[in-house]
Structure 1
């Protein structure tokens, strides 16, 4: 059975490129295209697609307004097709809050050397989006209304270090992850005795905006990881898109520190960054002090790394099916009997604090 896709984009070239890519996948059929949001809404109502690919910047009716109408009137999995540029990343993250499932970077053209790899990613994300649990894609406004409850950040982030990091939360997420990360990280207090390291599957260029957004809505300091960043309690480091993040022991200003190393090594299970790479890295350094969390996402990234965490005495927590947009990654953890706890998203912060304190 075909996944019926509708493409909404004001560029004739992009509509043609995306149509050609998707129609080459034996599981996907493009049933129509639309030139702007207004046209798209009319065709969604008439054609009832399984997945909508939606441009984020269009005339007549833009992507965000179109997405809002889709989720209210014709709930359908939406993949945002985003061009990197001024405010594009910010708009895309807002689209996640409105209920978008995935984001793909807009193809540059049919002659791009990376087109075969990009085409596979586009098809994979459309296939994933078709399986999304829409009831778990709701807007984050209910969470945003609690922003006044967030405890203030500690004023002095250059505070003296109080010894080694006591615990490490290593988090892997994919489809539905930005929403899940906002809820989870936003629920953790500034004084949590743990460093937080995150792999979120996103294209290069979007993780910086995600980090900024999470920093604004969390008591913790959140930043996109850079080469040489020191792993510290109370700080969340997010792996940049297209880079694996590992932790290594180095001398910094005369002191031995655990620092970030970024690499463009081979993709693992089709992903870079990879949760497996991060989990294996922290397991070897922190051992029983690691708590690995596997959140919503397709396929099985994180399972092999979680196995290493378990071998070294660390704990593994999987998100419950009831709160996942896609149960693939947490489901693999459960299938392999690796989970110490299986919890819905709204129960995770409470259990994490019990463990680390």
Structure 2
């Protein structure tokens, strides 16, 4: 099997060395070169023909975002962004994902603990492998979806069943920020509350929620402990906590849980889905979108067995068919559909027509 050819683009010699050492130690990779800035990278992409790039956002001569825009127009390649854990870094990283980057990693701190460095190594290896698997899909990636004029987007679900404990839950990982955006942009206002677990760092989740709120007709917020879940609202799990749904009288509430990683993730889709088993699962719509790994697959099967309506994104439209594939293999999928059919299927189910 051919090794994955990786080009590392970063103006920091320390980061170039760290990334090179981690990837070179794994037999799946061939680090074919490094570049100190986008101008250097242009020549080396032509010369070395890498399969995957790692790309710093802040660099001299040309910033990573401008370089990525040009790359996706002229020579689309899978890119894993290397970002700082700051508000500005979060905004730029989310923009990069919107443009076409596959995934991102937070730069390791020089003072990081051994456990943190081991986690970084594991995540980097897995994300670059996942990026390589997405290579053909990157080449045919469509332009980012633009917000549909209000007049052309249904405002309500006809006959929507909004009483009781109806709730929609969405789980996603790699490729999920854009998949979630696409689904929410096609949904109307009069929906049950939506809870979302996207694997994302703590410093990014609030900005992710804010961007979705700007782009969707729904009200999107980062979930807070004790939030009463309201119709027409979307609650994003903070990057530091699991989101758990609890029944409180006639209401549903959000509880943030800090028990530690489950399936190597905090927040975890497994934890969110499991919490829904205790609150009338036959009135739950559970959705699994693109992502790496198996998080949430087992609990999704439990939800289906308990009467939930489950929808899984198909392989063709998933950037990485890991979590959706695991759900299908568990027998957890009532429906397996293209990304652009997920919102219509939700609406049909709530309207009692599908």
TM-score (norm 1): 0.90
State the partner residue of 1:169. 168
CA 1:86–1:314: 2 relative to 1, 3 Å: closer
Q: Which sections of structure 2, spanning at least 5 residues, go unmatched?
A: none
Deviates more, 1:240-249 or 1:122-131: 240-249
Partners of 1:86 and 1:179 lie apart in 2 by 19
Q: Which sections of structure 1, spanning at least 5 residues, go unmatched?
A: 155-161
Q: Does 1:127 pair with 2:129? A: yes
- 1:188-199 to structure 2, matched below 5 A, reads 188-192=187-191, 194-199=192-197
State the partner residue of 1:229. 227
Residues 165 and 279, structure 2, Cα contact 8 Å, conserved in 1: no
Partners of 2:44 and 2:143 lie apart in 1 by 24
Deviates more, 1:273-282 or 1:70-79: 70-79
Q: Does 1:311 pair with 2:308? A: no
Residues 174 and 320, structure 2, Cα contact 8 Å, conserved in 1: yes
- 1:34-73 to structure 2, matched below 5 A, reads 34-73=35-74
TM-score (norm 2): 0.91
Query: Which contiguous aligned blocks of 4+ residues in structure 1 show a shift greater than 6 angstroms?
Result: none
Residues 17 and 110, structure 1, Cα contact 8 Å, conserved in 2: no
Partners of 2:182 and 2:103 lie apart in 1 by 18
CA 1:6–1:180: 2 relative to 1, 3 Å: same
State the partner residue of 2:295. 301
Q: Report the alpha carbon displacement of residue 149 of structure 1 after superposing the two structures with TM.
A: 4.8
State the partner residue of 1:215. 213
> Alignment partner for residue 200 of structure 1, among 198, 201, 209?
198
CA 1:10–1:196: 2 relative to 1, 3 Å: same
Q: Does 1:245 pair with 2:249? A: no
- 1:120-159 to structure 2, matched below 5 A, reads 120-132=122-134, 133-135=137-139, 137-140=141-144, 143-144=145-146, 146-147=148-149, 149=151
- 1:268-287 to structure 2, matched below 5 A, reads 268-287=262-281
State the partner residue of 1:92. 93
Partners of 1:183 and 1:308 lie apart in 2 by 27
What is the root-mean-square deviation of aligned Cα atoms in Å? 2.1
Instruction: Encode CA deviations 1:250-284: one digit per residue, 9 max, x unaligned.
Output: 4xxxx663221222223222222111111110122
